[in-house]
Structure 1
Amino acid sequence: MTATPPRPWLTPGAHARLAAELADLRRAPGPGDGSGEQDRFVLDQHRQARLRELQYLLRNAVVGEDPPDDGVAEPGMVLTVRYDDGGTETFLLGTRDENGQDDLDVYSPESPLGRALHGAEPGEQREYEVPNGSIVRVTLVDARPYGHHRTVHNGQSGH
């Protein structure tokens, strides 16, 4: 039996920006800038692929709904990790939005780090392979729902 991949997780702002991008792509005329037929074909293929990607994301996304505050790493959680070299990093495990205005980096659940951390609990050490083939060890320090992170960082109390 194949495991169902996690649904993409988006902040409300990311959802709105992606919906606007989809609307713009649907309104825009197809490629026709005078370039050669092969170039127009390639541009149209890229446009169609982006349309399908946006439609999938917007149809299947969990939008702003916080996962349980159980400390388990999953999409929609803000994770703090410590690397073996002692460095720490805090990021949102969710779907990337290149135009995002948030103060957090976003790592996809499908990224090597995201896959390694999925399901981890604080104190658990996981490993993942980086593109050069090296193995990186990382320990999950904390996992909080995105909504909790936003509340705390907007000057309000936590719970």
Structure 2
Amino acid sequence: MPTVSELSDVLDWEAVTVLRAIDDHEGAGVHWLTETTGFDRDRVANRCQQLSTLGLVTETETDDETVHELTGSGHAAVGNGLYDEYDFVGEADIDELAEKVAELLNRRDELRAEVDQLADDAADLRTRAERQFGDREDVRAEFESLMDDVETLAEQLDGE
């Protein structure tokens, strides 16, 4: 089932608001949705029709009015997947989390220093090889490949 973020790519905020109101009430008519959302009746009816056309809600006729319910098995079936899912840590210790973040940042800095050293070593080795072998095509190609790999590593560490 799509999340609110995914639905927001397709639906406007009014349609998402109406969908949430239907989910919160586990099915509702236009009258109740108008009161809950604060939108005018025509706007709510239009959004309900849009949601029905997309297959996100079904319409059930009652004696009083048409009730809009989320599709799926039982009430709130869409609602279970409607909101973006995040892994919650529970009773996390903020100091422990801060320490783990600091460790990751330190590891990133260490990797960055190693990549920088690797680039320096490769440049030095390239200079020595050029002195010993001259400007041979095969030597130059190997070092260009090595430098490309080092640059790729550096870019990945920088998040580019």
- TM-score interval, normalised by the smaller of the two chains: under 0.3
Which structure's residues are more often helix, by fraction? 2
Larger radius of gyration: 2
Give me the TM-score of the superposition, normalised by structure 2: 0.25
Which structure's residues are more often strand, by fraction? 1
